[in-house]
Structure 1
Amino acid sequence: MRSLRIRLALSVVTVAVLLIGILAAALYVEVREEIRADFDRRLVEDGRVLADLMEYDQEDGLELDLAPLVESFDRQRAAKTWWRLWRSDGSVLAGDPDASFLELGPPGSMVLRDRVHEGRRVRAATWRFRPRIDPEDPPDDPAQVPQLGLSVARETEEVDALLSQLAVLFWGLGTLTCLLVGGVAAWQVARGFAPVHRLAARISSLPAHELGTVLPTDDLPVELSPFVSRLNSLLERLQAALEREREFSGHVAHELRTPLAVLRTGLDLARRAQPPGTDEHAQLGELLETVDEMGALVDDLLLLARVERGADATQLRAVPLRPLVEAAWRNVEARASARGLRFDDRVPEGYEVQADPGKLHIVLQNLLTNAVSYTERDGSIAVEVGEGELLSVWDSGPQLPPESLERIFDRMWRADLARTDATQHAGLGLSLARGLCRHMEMDLRARNEDGGGLRLVVVPAGAPERYPARR
């Protein structure tokens, strides 16, 4: 079991159930013994009433006129009661005819026993005593007073029924208490783990491009504060490393602009000095194209550095999407036509997006450039608007492995170079597009379509991670 919350709740409930069970059992035993002791006391008291009715005097000896009192005694008892009076030699002096199951106990103290008579449980008390002496006619010798034995028994059906009811009552109350304690324990444990869930939500909401956000520790339990403090320290170090990387990229790109400009000027002058149609003229033209590509890469690096630093102001307004799509496609239409690619603009007329026009144009340009680069010959590209989406660009090119769907937005990452003409790109376009989207309160995501192809989707910031794939 890996859930700490479940383990803690089960531990608390287990201990509580054990304690409740022990307390309930101890209380039941205590009540049971008290009820039985009270039953024994009443049984002995009734026997003593019988014993006190026996009197000994000098003239008549032992008087045993017990019938009227015993009859009254039996009527007052709801439970069946048996009694028997013994002589010291063990012979029966008086008693109930059906009390043959009673026995005279040994000399000494009172004996209490459980018996079974005709399938019924009974409780029997036996003791020896000497009858009361008549004060008006006492014997000449007190030793003449004989020692008698008395046994009194009563069925325990009512007591057993009461104890059974108490057992059911204690069991029910114990079970109800355990359920109540379990519910309270689960609620308290869940409540105690609420700060952990809030902390997890805060961590998951941290933007990947802004790791310097400090997690608050004021409302956290003492046990979590050291963890959050160390996590904040780690995030600060990661943010510092990320800032150094951004500054390095920006500085390198800035420093390369001047040498590239000088190199391009020199190559252009040298190319003009060569007659058109010569090998030297063609080779210098190829070098100029390479320098232009390097210049575009440097410009992308500088723009990406500014975007990540937040140096460029972003002004959002309602922007018609279809004209931007048409303008972006015109820039790649020649390359697409050379490869036989079909383009379908499915954006509705009049559809608008809250965005910065300049930044949204760069986003569309990079998405379409990526689609043209990775779509196989005679393939298809489409721009459309789906449910929950601001816009999306689909191409019929090869799909990506699931682990690569997020990596395509990393700097300098490119898909398989053996496919299409991906070698013409440095792998900054999608990274720049995502950075621009985030500055416009959007997000850029990628997914494989069930019907084939790859779709790059622009959604509002904070939108759910999954959208239904369209066929």
Structure 2
Amino acid sequence: RFLDQKGAVIPPTNGPDVGELRAEEEARLALHGLPREHQIGYLRHHAGQTRETIAEVIVTPIVSTETHEAIAALAIGFKPVAPAGQRGEPGIRSGIWLEGRLHLPSLAPESESLLGAQVAGALATPGSVDRGILVRVDGVAHRLFYQRLNPDSLFPAAYEVGIYPLTALLASQRQLRWSILGAGALMLLGGLGASHVFSRRLSVPVQKLAVDSEQNRVRRARAEAALELSNEGLQRAVRFSADASHQLKTPVTVLRAGLEELLAREQLGPDVRDELAELVHQSYRLTSVIDDLLLLSRADAGRLQINLAPVDLARLIEAGVDDLGTIPDALGIAIETDFPTPLRIDGDNRYSAIIVQNLLENARKYNQPRGRIAITARERDTQVFLTIGNTGRPIPESDHEHIFERFHRGSVGENVPGHGLGLNLARELARLHGGDLRLVRSEGNWTEFEARFRTAPPAAADPRSA
């Protein structure tokens, strides 16, 4: 999950892909403000099981390269913590104390509740963590130890709680006592030796628990390092894209102005004038690519502002079709439309228009001579579905999973001008609108894409439509 600047959880648009959480579980991930350092927490998680589990959560801040301030945070949950009593170690059983409750599945619910009350008393007693406390579980004496798992964390305090049964130790002590009384000095020496052996044997589970704790610490450190490297890589990529686009925009503008000034001269021959006109056209195409890169870099950095309001999708489609009609085209493409008017969606007028324009341009570029483009739009429930299909060579099945990747140019587009940004940008903008963009099918002589938008809420409807 991502946290916004106030520490609140940003609901994901692809919940099944990133892990389902209940509303109350997702609320526990929220913090009072963004942290400056990594935070470790623990979350009670049901995930459909009969009894709840405890998942470990690591939150790392995402820092702006411009202001050096935290602008968001990324929370990653790991597999549920498996207490020692569930991993097969003899004797020792361990669990997690979190938010006033003990999670120790190897105990019966009644025993777990009673032990939780004793843990609460131990936590309120200074110094008990150093020597442990004596408790009774199901009528059997145990030694209880605990330690803080997330010191100095903004999340609620979590403690690892371990209980060690003393039955075998007490039985050994009673046996040794009778042996010493019955056998005298010789048996006393033998008893001391046996006591030493037993002590070594009984310490093995404790040593194994210490080794497991160290291994868990190492794995957690590796996960934090990998997370930090991933965050740094993302920041570098976003910074490079934004910087490169800014640096290119000014010289391209200057270049186009110089070309237009040359084109205005009257003494130019027809061939030279045509070449200059083509160069001016190419400069506009390059500016369009730079604008797309700037838009994508802002989206990657989470700085793209979407101002949602009622937008007439039918009007955007009509404007896009009119724009296609002004482009000189020797293909003779027929355009078929089928959609109601008005057709209102909840979106940003500028970015919704970019989605429609990119899909229409894609359908035109990859069409065939005397082909056709079919545009349909329908409202179903609380969503609006826009479908744009075109004739032409189908997209190879091996390219289906890559067509939305940035700068991807499949085999169908080898001789078609473009830079591989249109579909990627359209899908990113659709998802920012709470919708999506997908390839419906591409077979035979037909390719079809579907964009999904949210219907404009009735309360926010445009008064001019009354």
TM-score, structure 1 as length reference: 0.49
- Higher radius of gyration, 1 or 2: 1
**Greater share of residues in strand:** 2
TM-score (structure 2 length as normaliser): 0.49
- Structure that is richer in helix per residue: 1
